[in-house]
Amino acid sequence: MSKPIRFNAFDMNCVGHQSPGLWAHPRDKSWTYKDLDYWQDLARTLERGIFDGIFIADVIGYYDVYKGSNYHAIHQAAQIPVNDPLQLAAPIALATEHLGIGITASTSFEHPYTFARRLSTADHHTKGRIGWNIVTSYLESGAKNIGEAGLRRHDNRYEVAAEYVEVLYKLFEGSWEEGAVLRDREKRIFTDPSKVHEIGHKGRYFDVPGYHLSEPSPQRTPVLYQAGASGPGKDFAAKQAECIFVAAPTKSVLKAHVADMRKRVADAGREPRKVYIYTLVTIITDETDEKAQKKFEEYQKFVSYDGSLVFMSGWSGIDFGQYAPTDTVKKIETNAIHSFVEHVAGGDKCWTIDELAKFGGIGGLGPVFVGSPSRIADILQEWADDTDVDGFNLAYAVTPDSFEDVVGYIVPELQKRGVYPTAYKPGTLREKLFGDGDYLPANHPAHRYRDIEAVKREASMPKEAVA
């Protein structure tokens, strides 16, 4: 029996996202990212295809590693211009009934107290369909533009992130008790003050003494996504994430990554099968293999070589513009995305700069699957069965065509094979995904903060007494 297959759409509030140069294709509409109609039409398409959600990436900063400047990033619209992702939640929710909405936001660029209110508001407005993709950021330009000298060291960013989510858990889970909001018109009591608590957080990086500003949203804590794939990133995901996004260039790399993550989740005291792992791929399909291949070759004509290396340099922290196309990628210690360097410089393939640029020209760091619906379904089932991955995070070559093709061709084929859902389950995003209720489960570290007064008492005790 083949594994069930899940889809997530991967997009960004920008032009072209991870297919630099394809904005010039006559059918591409990513340049209309500024218009809500684009996002609402896309969301309806994805909901028709029973996608788990739309995962909206984000960066703060710009890609200026390649050739030591941001010229090619700006020239090719390589994730600049880029708009705020969270403002898309409400319009997408208005256009759909079930689609999950995953929003990327960095722990490096916004204070947890104000961000908690923004997330709760979005979860209210979407009736519990919000997820948060927790990132620590990798662009030095972003840190410099908010007045910092540069990014913290890689591992230290995860230390900050661990305390950041602790603050959010205290606000989401503990500040307002169940039943705190009474809305009692006769007694003229809206909220029982005795059931609203200050969180009293005083940590190494954040001091947040007071109350959460928002009443509990349908999920309290939104569904937690995470895409870190370095050692510290994996440890963080194993403890915190409910859905993990990965990018693996080959099936063997993906299989090892999934097995490693399952083990880390179990070691963290959580149920490995209740954490979904999605891998990044791009699907190019049509009625026949020949038509799909012709479409792929057409798309390749629009790929920007410089635009691709802009991303590769930014993600790795290595200026690939200083090398010849025939040079091989070397492993260099940087402060950017460690897993990227490990995969392309220490994996099972020796990459030249030219091969790297061509590989990343469509869809970024994931493989591109090309073929008829039957061929693509075979590939997806093979990857799911062989690697134990739960689903696929689908990037696009041309939007909305790439997503419409998946919904029109691939989804019916997978449904015919009995490995893809035919309808959504009711409830919040968390309930749809896992079927265990609206809130985080008892084995998640956030659960301990539901009794915030006990947490504060413990924090005030001498260390010897706690030990």
Angstrom CA distances, 373 to 48, 50, 418, stand at: 17, 17, 14
CA 72/CA 62 separation, integer angstroms:
11
Closest residue by Cα to residue 105 from 132, 81, 66: 132
Contact by Cβ (8 Å): 449, 455: yes
CA 284/CA 396 separation, integer angstroms:
9
User: Given the DSSP bridges, would you call strands 201-202 and 53-57 parallel, antiparallel or unpaired?
Assistant: unpaired
CA 126/CA 103 separation, integer angstroms:
12
Contact by Cβ (8 Å): 418, 24: no
Angle between helices 154-169 and 112-125 (to 10 degrees): 60
Residue type, 288: T
154 has binding-site annotation: yes
First-to-last CA distance in the chain?
49
Closest residue by Cα to residue 57 from 152, 154, 133: 133
Angstrom CA distances, 283 to 27, 85, 231, 292, stand at: 16, 24, 29, 10
Scanning the structure block, which residue is given the tokens 């093979």?
Answer: 382
104 has binding-site annotation: yes
CA 412/CA 88 separation, integer angstroms:
28
Classify each residue of 297-313 as buried b or exposed e, where b means 16 or more C-beta atoms within 10 Å of its C-beta: eebbebbbbbbbbbbbb
In sequence order, the β-bridge partners of residue 68 are none
Classify each residue of 28-58 as buried b or exposed e, where b means 16 or more C-beta atoms within 10 Å of its C-beta: bbbeebeeeebbbbbbebbbebbbbbbbbbb
Which two three-digit tokens encode residue 209? 């003494």
230 has binding-site annotation: yes
Classify each residue of 358-392 as buried b or exposed e, where b means 16 or more C-beta atoms within 10 Å of its C-beta: ebbbbbbbbbbbbbbbbbbbebbbebbeebbbbbb
205 has binding-site annotation: no
Closest residue by Cα to residue 89 from 135, 132, 41, 122: 122
Contact by Cβ (8 Å): 177, 196: yes
Specify binding-site residues for FMN.
58, 104, 154, 158, 230
Annotated binding site: 58, 104, 154, 158, 230
